[in-house]
Structure 1
């Protein structure tokens, strides 16, 4: 009898779709699970069967192991693939699958449990002879012990959630007086994210590279490594760009790091796909960071340089088959780079974004792993990552060039994303050179325009005015083509973006041509075609195409610099300028209130922390904009709030 025939994917979004593609291609039946928020999601539509597992909140759905096991029982699934995130590194869930007679497509519960604790795994790695960073990984977790150990280690140092990952529960501390505050926030974030507030302390390496080794083991004792990935381009300790191989890797260093990764895997009798992460300093010394006992988000770059399907290997190993290749047969070809597409606004300190996907078109020529469809709502309940774009080339420069074009040509309209940031990162000369570290964004990218509010160019404003005019004229039956009224005066347009407003004048010319003036700049345009999704225009004699969405006086316009959202405010009343600071604190996004630090009647100072909002798996501090007295607190601990909802009023 085969080991399993039907796989339940205990996950959502792009990774659920990714696993299903391979599983279905190999002849397996797939079962999706979904929460209330994901009832119509692409991963649900793609599956052979789907089971509803609970409300939108992760604790009641994707983190509800009982509901997942019941879904497997009801659907007749005989294996569970956890993907990444959620319960993928939960030892109790892996053990529960085994007890229920289900094949858990991953390593043993014992390996997950040990490597899931940064504290215990570091102790195990020291014993196994794997190079480790100096730090504290003891059982005592009281403030006094952590202060004493921090003094011993020295500053700067890192606080890390022992059970954590993805930058949550992690803080960089430069001075002793900052320690207790950072311990408090790290504990709180770790407890909410992972159910454990246990911390470790480590000496902070300044400007290292983050390099990880992909390892794979089977049930017959074979363990190999499939090369490395460089994940140094990060913000808030979350990876933004990953590539393989590492630009500064040598054959000798690769072999040494690979052997260290195998030592780590052998220490826990590792089976399946795993990643051993290291920090690499400027001297070529590397140190164990952690081991992720699951498939990584960035696994596609390894697939593209090795020619292997890592999900297929996971299924083969879980079915008891031996690995189909030996270490000597692992060959790395070319270079691959991946970027993570997030629903976030880099100009607002990377604030996660929610809303409806009005347009979605992956770019041709690059691999795009995603779980998106037009009309879908991006909710506040889950991680803001929407998908990944990956390019492969014979050289690193070819891969970079292909990926840059792919990012520029990708169409995502309806909500803010980090697409403009990604394009500017890929264009940056230092990134192109390959000589960077984990400090790259903070030190060399802090003044990039993508981190500032988007200001449309005069040409973009002219295109917007032409599209507003074209659609208005079409709706009223005007032919435009060949029409001209010499006596007509220019039409005045006022286009807005947030609190900004721009004035333009549009004149009709012969043969359907338009003249648009914005401040001192003028443009001759002709709309050659516009079907509501894509337009072809001629601008000052140059023909170009761009995607757009125009509805009810709102225009989303796609360009190589990211999407642009403009409103036609021509007939809206002119409002006086609002004050810079407000006594009304509003929710910056949908989310849940996880801490209320004030009450009515309290006096507060500008910048004082009032509330903590949790959204998309991160905590967001909400602070007072002015000095004053709290007159109203309109939320309680645990409340779900909507974007722009009034939370607190200060007088």
Structure 2
């Protein structure tokens, strides 16, 4: 299908920047560089020594090494990143996701340095980054939020007001994200103790112990809507994504369209998201996330003021390059199209490839990338930052790649995803590909009957199937004989026979 006819900054004249620095690593750095270079701009990256041999460093026009007490700390050093951008003449910085992508101070420092931040305004980052303030803003704008109690409103009565909301309750850190510090309370007798634990975790993870409690929707779906705004009053939605298959509050599978929505509900939830973004005067790409109940009710969850990990499924069904749109908006362009121009076709699924052992509680794994053969074919996309010969370490998040498929409908997309997983070869480090194949084959997933507690309710999906002893013996024998020391032993001539020399009887 064709995307909207969009006037680009290049068509209007010169881009106001000729080099874009990606303040990130891994697959998202590769993803952003691909579009930057396709547009004829130069792409730069920063990298820690641990990432020296990665795909992003190899493909960038500029690669500037940064340092820190840990690899992660280097990517959180805004001053060092801005200095790197100046050293290569970058006129814009793309933060990717994670790290400094939703950091108000970094955004302000970038703009103060005379460099364009490819993202929202500092004020929008600040507002939507605080779950309590974001929730209040959305409620005051007339959009649906779950019944809740907010500690900031009156700390002395917080426990009492939370109890009045009723069980089950979900405790959340005000500054939280990624599921950290969240606690479900079904027995109100435990409420005070769980609040104290949540406050302690919020302080530890985010340096902010403020909390709020909201009504917990049992077995909800997690549905989010992609939005684009130009900061000039123009906002569109780019349809929804279903993100309900999660472990530890973190997504594993995302798809679009959501199998839970009919046309009327789809329009309602997407227009709600666009309305929230419009109320903000939103600039750049963003995602409005909702909790979706079994009865079709939905409530605002949060807004992520950045590009999402799962953005490729939206690109696949619409033909819109979301990074291109981010660059255009950062260059001062208006969107140049209305909602009617945004159309979709087919069904897309993204599977996150993690270096982890699902059978052992999704424990992260490490190891060398001995062999890497990504799947190929029509409607198959592989976004990754690793290379054969590289190393998967414990320094970063265990997500090492994303497999995205696009089919004519959901059944075709599931079948294509299963074939692509079967064709994926990644040796040297245990991944979750076998787990993902079991997940795709589960009857409830095939039927689209999933929710955020789906994996907890079906632990057999994560469990490794038991192999027959004869099969295990054969596999161990083949593995042993494939190593050089074992081959040398198997091929060696015993000393007694070697002493005979060339004698023949």
For residue 147 of structure 1, report the CA deviation from its aligned partner: 2.4
Q: Secondary structure in 2 aligned to 1:265? A: helix
From the superposition, tell whether residues 188 and 69 of structure 1 become closer, same or farther in structure 2 (CA, over 3 Å).
Answer: farther
* 1:244-259 to 2 correspondences below 5 Å: 244-259=256-271
The 1-side partners of 2:395 and 2:480 are apart by 35
Which residue matches 2:397?
Answer: 383
Which residue matches 2:178?
Answer: 166
Which residue matches 1:203?
Answer: 215
Equivalent in 411, 415, 435 of residue 425 of structure 2: 411
Deviations 1:49-98 (A, max 9, x none): 11122136256311111111111112211100000111111111111111
Retained in 2: the 8 A contact 1:36–1:55?
no
Aligned length: 476
* 1:410-429 to 2 correspondences below 5 Å: 410-429=424-443
* 1:64-75 to 2 correspondences below 5 Å: 64-75=77-88
Does residue 437 of the first structure (1) align with residue 447 of the second (2)? no
For residue 374 of structure 1, report the CA deviation from its aligned partner: 2.3
Deviations 1:472-509 (A, max 9, x none): 79657969xxxxxxxxxxxxxxxxxxxxxxxxxxxxxx
Which residue matches 1:47?
Answer: 60
Retained in 2: the 8 A contact 1:10–1:83?
yes
Retained in 2: the 8 A contact 1:347–1:453?
no
The 2-side partners of 1:358 and 1:67 are apart by 33
Q: Secondary structure in 1 aligned to 2:429? A: coil
Structure (1/2) with the larger strand percentage = 1
The 2-side partners of 1:380 and 1:329 are apart by 44
Does residue 344 of the first structure (1) align with residue 356 of the second (2)? yes
Q: Secondary structure in 2 aligned to 1:337? A: strand
From the superposition, tell whether residues 145 and 28 of structure 1 become closer, same or farther in structure 2 (CA, over 3 Å).
Answer: farther
Equivalent in 3, 17, 21 of residue 30 of structure 2: 17
Which residue matches 1:317?
Answer: 329
The 1-side partners of 2:154 and 2:370 are apart by 48
Deviations 1:122-151 (A, max 9, x none): 000001111000112341686x64422321
Equivalent in 393, 399, 402 of residue 407 of structure 2: 393
Retained in 1: the 8 A contact 2:35–2:323?
yes
Equivalent in 62, 85, 91 of residue 98 of structure 2: 85
From the superposition, tell whether residues 460 and 390 of structure 1 become closer, same or farther in structure 2 (CA, over 3 Å).
Answer: farther
For residue 268 of structure 1, report the CA deviation from its aligned partner: 1.4
Larger Rg: 1
Retained in 1: the 8 A contact 2:170–2:216?
yes
Does residue 402 of the first structure (1) align with residue 413 of the second (2)? no
From the superposition, tell whether residues 185 and 408 of structure 1 become closer, same or farther in structure 2 (CA, over 3 Å).
Answer: farther
Q: Secondary structure in 1 aligned to 2:349? A: strand
Q: Please, which runs of 5 or more residues in structure 1 have no aligned partner?
A: 480-651
From the superposition, tell whether residues 199 and 382 of structure 1 become closer, same or farther in structure 2 (CA, over 3 Å).
Answer: farther
From the superposition, tell whether residues 12 and 56 of structure 1 become closer, same or farther in structure 2 (CA, over 3 Å).
Answer: farther
The 2-side partners of 1:57 and 1:230 are apart by 35
Which residue matches 1:222?
Answer: 234
The 1-side partners of 2:254 and 2:446 are apart by 13
Higher relative contact order (CA 8 A, sep 6+): 2
The 2-side partners of 1:46 and 1:270 are apart by 32
Q: Secondary structure in 2 aligned to 1:267? A: helix
TM-score, normalised with respect to structure 1: 0.70
Deviations 1:354-403 (A, max 9, x none): 33222222112321111111232323232111111111000100000111
Q: Secondary structure in 2 aligned to 1:213? A: strand
The 1-side partners of 2:192 and 2:68 are apart by 36
Which residue matches 1:27?
Answer: 40
